[in-house]
A and B are shown apart, each in its own frame.
Chain A
Amino acid sequence: MIYPKSLIIAVFVSFFIVFAQACGGDDTADRTSGQAETAEAGLSEFELEHGVGPITERIELSDEFDPELVEKGRNIYEMKCEMCHNMEGRMVGPALGDVMERRSAEFVMNFILNPSGMVREHPTGQELLREYMTAMPYQNVMEDEARAIVEFLREYNELN
Chain B
Amino acid sequence: MTNNKSKTLRGLFLGAGFIAIAAFIFTGCPSQQRMLDTGDAAQKVYVAPGEHDEYYGFFSGGYSGQLSVWGLPSARLLRVIPVFSQDPETAYGYSEETKPLLETSYGFIPWDDSHHPHISQTNGDADGRWIFINANNTPRIARIDLTTFQTREILEIPNTGGNHASSFVTSNTEYVIGGTRFSIPYEEDLDVPIDSYSDAFRGALSFIAVDQQSGRMELDFQIIVPPYNYDLGRAGKGPSSDWVFFTTYNTEEAHTMLEINASRNDKDFIAAVNWRKAAELVRDGHGRTMPGEFYHNYYAGKQGYAVNDVKNGVTVLDTREIDEDFIYYLPTPKSPHGVDIDPTGEYIVGGGKLATVIPVHSFSRMLEAIENGAIIERIDGIPVLDYDSTIIGEVENPGLGPLHTEFDGQGYAYTSVYISSEIVKWSLETFEVVDRIDAYYSIGHLLITAGDNVNPEPRYMVGLTKTAKDRYLPTGPKQNHPAQLYDISGGRMQLLKDFPTIGEPHYAQAIRADKIVNQVAQIYEMEENDHPHAIRRIADNRVERDGNVVRIFMGSTRSHFRPDNIEGIRVGDTVYIHLTNFEQEWDVVHGIAIKGANNTELLVAPGETKTIKWEPKRTGIYPFYCTAFCSALHQEMQGYIRVSAADSDVQLTWRTGTN
Contacts and interface: CB of A to CB of B under 8 A. Distances in A.
Given A12-B39, A78-B539, A83-B555, A1 B584 contact: no
Contacts of B582: 79-80, 83
A34 interface: no
Contacts, number: 100
B584 A80 contact: yes
A7 B7 contact: no
Contact of B38 (A12, A75, A91): A12
* B interface bracket (residues with beta carbon within 8 Å of A): 35 or more
Contact of A140 (B6, B38, B584): B584
Nearest to B606: A140
Contacts of A78: 537-539
B10 A3 contact: yes
Contacts of B562: 83
A10 B523 CA distance: 41
A82 B1 contact: no
Interface stretch (B18-26, B368-376, B471-479): B18-26
B559 interface: yes
A82 B584 contact: no
Among B26, B555, B588, chain A packs the most CB atoms within 10 A around the CB of: B26
Given A82-B539, A134-B632, A1 B558 contact: no
B310 interface: no
A8 B31 CA distance: 14
A76 to B, nearest CB: 9
Interface string B439-476: 00000000000000000000000000000000000000
Among A11, A92, A140, chain B packs the most CB atoms within 10 A around the CB of: A140
Contact of A8 (B38, B607, B657): B38
Interface string A1-18: 111111111111000000
B557 interface: yes
Interface string A50-80: 0000000000000000000000000100111
Contacts of A140: 523, 525-526, 584-585, 607
Contact of A137 (B31, B38, B585): B585
A46 interface: no
A84 B539 CA distance: 11
A139 interface: yes
Contact of A3 (B1, B25, B537): B1
Nearest to B38: A8
Nearest to B535: A79
* A interface bracket (residues with beta carbon within 8 Å of B): 20 to 34
Among A3, A134, A141, chain B packs the most CB atoms within 10 A around the CB of: A3
A133 interface: yes
Nearest to A74: B537
Given A3-B1, A82-B539, A92-B560, A9 B584 contact: no
B43 A12 contact: yes
Nearest to B20: A4
Contacts of B257: none
A53 B17 CA distance: 59
A83 B557 contact: yes
A8 B9 contact: yes
A1 B537 contact: no
A92 B19 CA distance: 60
Interface in B14-43: 18-19, 22-23, 25-26, 30-31, 37-39, 42-43
Interface of A: 1-12, 75, 78-80, 82-84, 91-92, 133-134, 137-141
Given A4-B18, A8-B39, A11-B9, 20 more contacts: A2-B1, A3-B10, A3-B38, A4-B23, A5-B31, A7-B9, A8-B38, A9-B39, A9-B42, A10-B18, A12-B43, A75-B537, A78-B539, A79-B538, A83-B562, A83-B582, A137-B583, A138-B585, A139-B585, A141-B584
Return the 8 tightest CB-CB contacts between A and B, nearest first: A140-B584, A78-B537, A4-B22, A8-B38, A139-B584, A2-B30, A83-B538, A12-B39
23 contacts: A1-B2, A1-B6, A2-B31, A3-B1, A4-B18, A4-B22, A5-B31, A8-B6, A8-B9, A8-B39, A11-B12, A11-B13, A78-B538, A78-B539, A83-B582, A91-B657, A92-B559, A134-B559, A134-B633, A139-B584, A139-B585, A140-B525, A140-B607
